[in-house]
Structure 1
């Protein structure tokens, strides 16, 4: 393990757990020269070390002390807060268990609110529900900062890392890099960390000339793909969102001007962060597409219907693949049974209708 004092730039490796698609410019974010910190995999390893250590004692007073350290680590790990800010928290007043937010009151005039996950919020609440924490009320996290740093260093060394990589300040920096690598906008990371200017946040990372060229190339390629929709994929703008008790209807307009409707769960609406006017990608799987001949608009309950020209037919023993061009930039592939192919008597060059219902459309957010 290289020490933090090394001056060479260290390329941040994408965590296997991040789920990125390989074309994400966040994957090539590099740490600023002279700065090194843990990546996501290493942070998770350190977190697991803290958790095992917190439970590895038969004495209740020792477990209580270690649980305090674990809570402090988790708050720094997932909020990017300073050690002093976490130690000053009154968790019973400064954590909103309903909205899952933590309020840091470093400035009485401008407190900073940071979102945490529901799972972390519940874990902290359950831990603080233990009687020893209840008795201490607002001082549950009020520990000596030197003692906390020593325990952080010990856990880092137990994982085989240089102790400085486990320091509270370095973990805060690692969180910032992790968020930017996940494509969180710089102003949002700045707000979470409480930096006064974006330059303080952006100083954590740097790009070489080659990396900037690679970012630009990937961005332009992705932009080009959006303008020339891939098969069964539409780049579209959200026109309206109608929320129900369980599901939400989303009406879109593709770049070719075609209307498109999908129904998703309310959870998906929140998770994807959808809003009117946002550009997203909609996709429909080939087996979900229905073909119908004729010139007139077919009588069907399918919300999505497009008139096109059958440009290619590939027949097999069981299935037939049909490609329909609905505009110069968009093709839709349908896979139908060979029996259905015989029934429709399809030929290349025929005009056909492409149909699929609103539940067949999957939305993707860049």
Structure 2
């Protein structure tokens, strides 16, 4: 009887050890925030990263989505006013600390697998330190799907040039322009001013010393006073201000007493030595502004954006990051016949990246478990954008 009990205890212990060595592969990174849902503030999850061809990815979730949970069914709010009910089921279990995701392998960069495009704003003091972004905490920006622009009389040409930049950024977030009945009205303020600060000539009294002879004291250093005029000079500074303001169009039409501002981004520098070209500069600033739409991130954090190319749905062995640990279901890798144990060798010399979609076409040389090498062609593999907030 004692042996039987001891055997049962050993079995249970071994099962617990196995359970501890397994982990669920969620396939996404997210952090908790408070956001308005159905008119009420609610604890939600903001998704910043989705692993290629994971269950979360295949269910249609993307970086920037807002997740609310109810039992096993998740309500997903996509930027652009759409909502989705998602049930990803049971997450895949993998052995803990035995694998690396494709994005992790790309970040390490040691195996020359994949391609990563980086965009870090806090390294640019003109943009990061001089831009402020605010949103109305009583409004969910996920509820809006269309927009249009309202131009003022000042700097109309510049406003129209900038509106094209903003439209591209909002299109990336699935918002569309609607001139007839928009959800959001956007006002643009672009202002630059050349200022000359003239400093007039100044009279200075200077004490000097020279070696000389004086009756009664003899030779030695002698002090004398003289006046000197310092010439005037002009310092040229340029003030630059660039503001994007979003208003709730329906409230504007109804005539609210308080201006219904739902989102505002402001860039201002009072002492530019030279005004930069409008289009490239405003493109950079607007890109940083809209990385904080619909969620505004704290300014004490580092914010960067990464775009990952050539991800085909693989997990790699942690100790041998060129060897495939697992092939994700429904991925291009599975369709191409890649198997666990196959090894990534290198890419072909030519690859094509579509500038509009970010899709990539390329050849990959792999080595099968039996040692044979094979070239596999991948066509129109989608890219993955990640907002890195630390």
Give 1 or 2: higher strand fraction.
Answer: 2
- Structure with more helix by fraction: 1
Of the two structures, which has the highest relative contact order with CA contacts closer than 8 Å and spacing of 6 or more? 2
- TM-score normalized with structure 1 length: 0.27
TM-score by length of 2: 0.26
Larger radius of gyration: 2
